Amino acid sequence: MTRALSHGACHLFYVAGYLALALTEMFHPALMVLWGAVLLASWRWRHPDRRFAAARIRLGFLGLLPLAAIDGSTSMAVGGPDLFAALVSWGGLFLMLWPFERAPHGLSCLFTLGQLVAAGTLSTSIWFALSTAAFVASGVSMLICLTLADGRSPLLARHPIPFVKIVLDPTPVSDRAALRGPPPRPVRLVMAVSMAITATTVLLFLIIPRYGAGWFFSSRREPIRRAGFSERVTFGAIGEMQNDDTVVMRVKLMERTGRYPGYLRWRGVGLDHFDGRAWTESPGREWVLESRHRGLRDTRYVVGASLEPDVVILKQRVFLDSDLEGVIFAAPRLLQIWGQFTRLVRSRNGSVTMKLPAFTTRSYLVSSAVNDPDAAALIASEGVEENQDMDVYRQLPAVIGPRVRELASKIVGPARTRYEKAAVIERYLRSRYTYQVKALEPADPGNPIEWFLFDFRKGHCEYFAGAMAVLLRSLDIPCRVVNGFVQGGFNPVGDYYLVRANDAHSWVEVHYPQIGWVTYDASPDRLEPAPTRSGQLARTLGLYLDALSMSWRLHVVDYHLLDQVAYVRAMLAFLRGRPGASPDRTGSTSTLSGQDVPKVFLLICGLLVAMSMSWMIVRRAMRTGPLHGTEFPTRAYLDMLRSLERRGIARDPHETPREIVRRVRSRWPPALQAVETLTDWFEQARYGGRTVTASGRAAIERALAELRTMSRARDGSGAPDPAAGGSGRLPGLGER
């Protein structure tokens, strides 16, 4: 271990801090290049084996000042985590180019930790796991190097000055040679300790009680809803999202595995008023959802109820990934919501929105009644009088001319019931019009629906939904437009639906008396290009990566107290012999079910195995490295003496190696050959300075192994003859 190694290890630690910042993808590449340059410069110019490059370092320090001023002013304007990240990144750079010979390594380490914290505030991606792993490995290597190479580094010092009072050294020559042996194997030691720390980190992370005070949430602004899911949606908002393939949310179906047999949609906002160019949610009555606390569970909000006898309840855990804040997305006919919300409000159109941001995490559990009512029930409901004011759902703007009504009448033809009319219009639009993702500016911006229906006849889902709603309303059928997402791609690896921004969709809900709102989707199916073989491979790989990312989100980012409780309950149930019994599935957002208990055990067993393995490797790595030159025969000779000592042939302090050999000849003849070999090598190495060769090394190891085997033999074979005499004393100070 040298100071150069410690220097390198310190810089490796600094690299880990900047790697954490870089992996947040929030910094400009030019800034990352600057980080790399400063790290390299600091490593070279402050290298302990070279002359301190004072002039260059001072120049670099001064050169950083204007850059920091420019970037700092930008960050100050943004504030919050960005300002903190800028502070720790620039602070670390300045410390690395500190214009004095003595570098403030302690402060630099503090800033590195600050960089990891800043990365945690800027991003929750799975790359943070990589950053943490790099932090652990580099931190372990730095601290071990500092401790072993420089046990009295100021960073580690409790006493200011080394104070070693060695006045003489009566160490026997042989022991001194052993003491001066090579250092432990740092790479293996670092790897093993890093493994142990990682396993311990996982264990501690799982068991540290989660408590979120959320003291700063009450002062936060009201969430800004994304375009397309706000209270007013102009034509084209959803279409714009369809060109974006970023992941916006993931939905995991609870209490079932695999793909849902039907087609799912994730309903967002319902819009009832159409002014010819945009759909809006007309002001009306809103209901604040009452929260119900029941012990250690998420707060439950009741949205509605289903009176149908054979209702199919589907529970979904939704993980919002992008800036989809403010709206609860769920399968249509939402019944209940579990989550940590500040306040939830339900509008007349069935939209559930957050008036303040979510309290802890951006995930929640919802239950919906997903089965569609059968046609007979819908037809039977025709004769029943509407039980609420449905005029808002029959509203049409003045720009909609009579030809729309004519077209509607022409489409429905002889159909009489609401059910038949809606079905015919849906089928008509799906078959006669073309789906086109690319949004075009309508020739008549004031009346895009008529332009779509009569002129262009192509468009995306907003046009289809809007056209169907207008056609239905022209026939006096109450309906509304709904914006949300289609189910997205199913990831069989992670068993969840992956919803991207381009899965945004608009559809129509038609009201039936006593039954409620029924979904209709007039948009034709999108034609997806068939994937190539390489594309298939990339897709499969992407599924695995995304499943990993989802797992990170599920078990790290969104892991909370309820998960901990569920884990404990599931474990207890498993230990009581009822592994199938879920701990509490009705009231917790935890994704853990009874079937997952073996996975939990597997995880714990894996952690224990990892810790045991790392422990074994640590113990092996704490041995010293391979011996070279003259040291190996000396070590072997010492081992030989210990073996002889175990068999009662202890070396007297005055005895020479040859005298011991003579004693072995008389007292333990079977061991004579091995002892002679080892003594020969010891004398040649110790007094002749002979370096051991590979063949010599093998001979020494063979002799030593033979001696050990004989020494540990329980049957007494080859045991020394007590009658031959010999003291039982141990050598020198080592005598017992």
427 contacts 411 by C-beta, under 8 angstroms: no
Q: Please identify which residue in 36, 63, 212, 304 interacts with another protein, judged by CB under 8 A.
A: 212
Residue 182: what residue type?
A: P
Please state the closest distance from residue 605 (CB atom) to another protein, in A. 19
**Residue number, 212 or 492, with CB nearest to another protein:** 212
Contact status: 132 vs another protein (CB under 8 A): yes
Q: Please identify which residue in 4, 113, 423, 493 interacts with another protein, judged by CB under 8 A.
A: 113
Contact status: 339 vs another protein (CB under 8 A): no
Please state the closest distance from residue 357 (CB atom) to another protein, in A. 11
Q: Please identify which residue in 72, 99, 120, 397 interacts with another protein, judged by CB under 8 A.
A: 120
Cα–Cα dist 476/469, whole Å: 10
Contact status: 213 vs another protein (CB under 8 A): yes
Please state the closest distance from residue 158 (CB atom) to another protein, in A. 5
Cα–Cα dist 689/698, whole Å: 19
**Residue number, 30 or 208, with CB nearest to another protein:** 208
DSSP state of 348: T
> What is the torsional sign of CA 665, 667, 673, 677?
negative
Contact status: 728 vs another protein (CB under 8 A): no
**Two tokens at 479?**
């309906």
**Residue number, 240 or 655, with CB nearest to another protein:** 655
Contact status: 380 vs another protein (CB under 8 A): no
Cα–Cα dist 508/146, whole Å: 67
**Residue number, 51 or 158, with CB nearest to another protein:** 158
Contact status: 371 vs another protein (CB under 8 A): no
Applying the rule CB under 8 A, the residues between 509 and 548 that interact with another protein are none
Contact status: 173 vs another protein (CB under 8 A): no
- Point out which span in 56-64, 202-210, 291-299, 533-541 binds another protein (CB under 8 A): 202-210
Cα–Cα dist 327/229, whole Å: 8
Residue 400: what residue type?
A: I
Contact status: 610 vs another protein (CB under 8 A): no
**Residue number, 109 or 671, with CB nearest to another protein:** 109
**Residue number, 67 or 730, with CB nearest to another protein:** 730
Q: Please identify which residue in 15, 19, 87, 193 interacts with another protein, judged by CB under 8 A.
A: 193
Please state the closest distance from residue 649 (CB atom) to another protein, in A. 17
3 state DSSP class of 246: coil
Residue 530: what residue type?
A: A
Please state the closest distance from residue 103 (CB atom) to another protein, in A. 15
- Point out which span in 50-58, 155-163, 218-226, 578-586 binds another protein (CB under 8 A): 155-163
Please state the closest distance from residue 117 (CB atom) to another protein, in A. 6
Cα–Cα dist 180/191, whole Å: 24
Burial 200-220 (b: 16+ CB within 10 A, else e): eebbeebeeeeeeeeeeeeee
Q: Please identify which residue in 204, 398, 527, 530 interacts with another protein, judged by CB under 8 A.
A: 204
Query: To which H or E segment does residue 467 belong?
Result: helix 461-474
Applying the rule CB under 8 A, the residues between 556 and 595 that interact with another protein are 556-560
Please state the closest distance from residue 556 (CB atom) to another protein, in A. 6
Please state the closest distance from residue 1 (CB atom) to another protein, in A. 9
Half-sphere exposure of 631 (CA within 13 A, CB side): 14
Please state the closest distance from residue 543 (CB atom) to another protein, in A. 25
Q: Give the Å distances, CA to CA, from 173 to 634, 686, 729, 730, 732.
A: 10, 9, 19, 16, 12
Half-sphere exposure of 133 (CA within 13 A, CB side): 10
Q: Give the Å distances, CA to CA, from 221 to 83, 227, 339.
A: 19, 17, 19
Cα–Cα dist 371/90, whole Å: 57
Q: Please identify which residue in 108, 115, 198, 474 interacts with another protein, judged by CB under 8 A.
A: 198
Burial 297-324 (b: 16+ CB within 10 A, else e): bbbbbebeeeeeeeeeebbbbbbbbeeb
Contact status: 639 vs another protein (CB under 8 A): yes
**Residue number, 394 or 555, with CB nearest to another protein:** 555
**Residue number, 318 or 641, with CB nearest to another protein:** 641
- SS3 assignment for 429-460: HHHHCEECCCCCCCCCCCCHHHHHHHHHCEEC
Cα–Cα dist 594/579, whole Å: 6
Q: Please identify which residue in 305, 609, 622, 698 interacts with another protein, judged by CB under 8 A.
A: 622
- Point out which span in 294-302, 402-410, 522-530, 553-561 binds another protein (CB under 8 A): 553-561
Strand partners, 330: 267
Contact status: 732 vs another protein (CB under 8 A): yes
Q: Please identify which residue in 515, 618, 661, 710 interacts with another protein, judged by CB under 8 A.
A: 618
Applying the rule CB under 8 A, the residues between 640 and 659 that interact with another protein are 642
Please state the closest distance from residue 606 (CB atom) to another protein, in A. 16
Residues 133-152 as x/- pattern, contact with another protein by CB under 8 A: --xx--xx--xx-xxx--x-
Please state the closest distance from residue 736 (CB atom) to another protein, in A. 9
Residue 220: what residue type?
A: R
Cα–Cα dist 565/85, whole Å: 34
Whose CA is closest to 56, among 46, 68, 66? 46
